[in-house]
């Protein structure tokens, strides 16, 4: 049975900071906070769709700092979600995203009582200079403390990171990944920075004081990050922002592509093919891979095939069930 998230977006209310990159209304596409009644209606409607399709879902409160919203409103949302989980078998749990400095022992107890199954922390970076430069209002120590509290409670931990922030470097991003791995989360999300209008990053970008990573730099970096996490047994459940007309309309720069993960996975294939082919003579080669990998091996607009041709390797990619990379 296929598992998914049913996302309920809570906009920027209650959050104690306005980070340099933040315009949650553009990112989530939501302009106002949903009422508990609206959430109840959505959950009832979606339960029928999920059941019909033979799917299950976790109810996910995303888009803001869930544990920083007014307490009464948070409890109403949790009560609504908990009732839905108890009523509809298609709902398997409740997850939320929040800030590391909005987690303490009392909050964790509340979340546990209402059946929260996973908490994702918007850590963004584990470098204190990067965090301070982007007005995050918390430190790497806060991420470690909050992560420990969540894991000790038995709630699954998820961590979110951003690449290309103000004062960031690829090396610092890789160090953040290494720090995440030490915390052993169940899941990670990787978000390359998108520079939006009406944000401090937007102002810094427009006056020439800030340049994010280029698209190519980001693809290469994210390929390394993805491999790091997968080799450590940590699932990367998102790479890049969801496709959104609001983001496309409001963005000034940074890296945004609706198929970013596919492009990054294709870059990993290219790197692996280069490494294997370097041990062989240049010329014609057959490359076999599982059918599900064919498009990634070829690359968008045959970019991988063309890149290898420039190196002197004329390749033909063919399907072979169960094979990752076999070159003849």
Residues 241-254: tens digit of each pLDDT: 987 888 889 999 99
Q: Using one digit for the tens of pLDDT, what is the confidence trace for 204-241? A: 999 999 999 999 999 999 999 999 999 999 999 999 99
User: Residue 271: is it exposed, middle or buried by C-beta count within 10 angstroms (0-12/13-18/19+)?
Assistant: middle
- Range with the poorest average pLDDT among 63-72, 172-181, 208-217, 284-293: 63-72
Quote the CA–CA distance of 248 and 239 in Å, as a whole number: 17
DSSP string, 29-77: ---SPPPHHHHHHHHHHHHHHHHHHTEEEEEEEESS-GGGS-HHHHHHH
Quickly state the pLDDT bin for 28 (edges 50, 70, 90): very low
pLDDT the model gives residue 289: 97
Section 54-76 average pLDDT: 93
The pLDDT value recorded for residue 210 is 96
> What is the percentage of the chain residues whose pLDDT exceeds 70?
95
Q: Is 70 exceeded by the pLDDT of residue 90?
A: yes
Asked if 23 and 250 count as a contact pair (C-beta separation under 8 A), the reply is yes
User: For residue range 180-206, what is the model confidence (pLDDT) as tens digits?
Assistant: 999 999 999 999 999 999 999 999 999
Judged on CB neighbours under 10 Å (0-12, 13-18, 19+), 117 is middle
Q: What is the pLDDT of residue 29?
A: 43
Question: Does position 59 have pLDDT exceeding 70, yes or no?
Answer: yes
* Phi (first) and psi of residue 2, to 5 degrees: -75, 135
Give the tokens for residue 85.
């989980």
Contacts of 215 (CB under 8 A, 6+ apart): 255, 257
The three-class DSSP label of residue 98 is strand
* pLDDT of 69 over the 90 cut: yes
Give the mean model confidence (pLDDT) for residues 42-69.
93
- Report CA-CA distances (Å) from 277 to 230, 272, 304, 305, 306: 23, 9, 13, 13, 14
Residue 38 has pLDDT above 90, yes or no: yes
pTM comes to 0.91
Query: What number of other Cβ atoms are within 10 A of residue 298's Cβ?
Result: 19
Give SS3 for 326. strand
Mean pLDDT score, 13-30: 64
pLDDT on residue 32: 78
Question: How many CB atoms sit inside 10 A of residue 104's CB?
Answer: 12
What single DSSP character describes residue 299?
A: -
The pair of three-digit structure tokens given for residue 321, joined into one six-digit string: 């069930």
Q: What is the pLDDT of residue 64?
A: 73
Q: How far apart are CA 185 and CA 183, in angstroms?
A: 6
Show the tokens assigned to 56: 């299950």
Q: Provide mean pLDDT across the span 61-82.
A: 94
What distance, in Å, lies between the first and last C-alpha atoms of the chain? 38
pLDDT in tens, 131-181: 999 999 999 999 999 999 999 999 999 999 999 999 999 999 999 999 999
Please write the tens of the pLDDT for every residue from 97-134: 999 999 999 999 999 999 999 999 999 999 999 999 99
């Amino acid at each position: 049975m296929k598992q998914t998230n049913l996302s309920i977006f809570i906009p920027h209310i209650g959050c104690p900071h306005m980070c340099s990159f933040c315009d949650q209304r553009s990112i989530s596409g939501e302009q106002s906070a949903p009422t508990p009644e609206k959430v109840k209606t959505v959950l009832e409607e979606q339960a029928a769709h999920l059941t019909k399709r033979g799917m299950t879902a976790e109810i996910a409160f995303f888009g803001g700092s869930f544990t920083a919203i007014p307490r009464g409103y948070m409890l109403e949302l949790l009560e609504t979600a908990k009732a839905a989980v108890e009523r509809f078998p298609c709902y398997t749990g409740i997850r939320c995203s929040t800030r590391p400095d909005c987690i303490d022992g009392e909050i964790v107890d509340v979340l546990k009582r209402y059946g929260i199954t996973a908490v994702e922390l918007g850590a963004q970076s584990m470098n204190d200079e990067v965090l301070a430069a982007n007005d995050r209002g918390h430190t790497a120590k806060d991420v470690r403390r909050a992560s420990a509290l969540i894991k000790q409670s038995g709630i699954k931990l998820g961590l979110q990171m951003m690449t290309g922030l103000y004062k960031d470097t690829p090396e610092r991003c890789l160090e953040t990944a290494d720090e995440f791995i030490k915390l052993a989360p169940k899941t990670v999300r990787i978000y390359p920075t998108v520079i939006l209008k009406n944000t401090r990053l937007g102002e810094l970008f427009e006056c020439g004081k800030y340049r994010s990573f280029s698209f190519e730099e980001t693809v290469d970096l994210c390929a390394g990050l993805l491999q790091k996490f997968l080799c450590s047994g940590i699932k990367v459940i998102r790479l890049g922002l969801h496709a959104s007309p609001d983001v496309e309309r409001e963005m000034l720069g940074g890296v945004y592509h609706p198929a970013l993960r596919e492009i990054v996975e294709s870059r990993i294939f290219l790197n692996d093919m280069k490494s294997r082919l370097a041990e062989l003579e240049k010329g014609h080669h057959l490359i076999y891979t599982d059918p599900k990998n064919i498009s990634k091996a070829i690359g968008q607009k045959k970019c991988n095939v063309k890149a290898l041709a420039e190196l002197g390797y004329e390749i033909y990619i063919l399907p072979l069930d169960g094979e990752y990379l076999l070159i003849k």
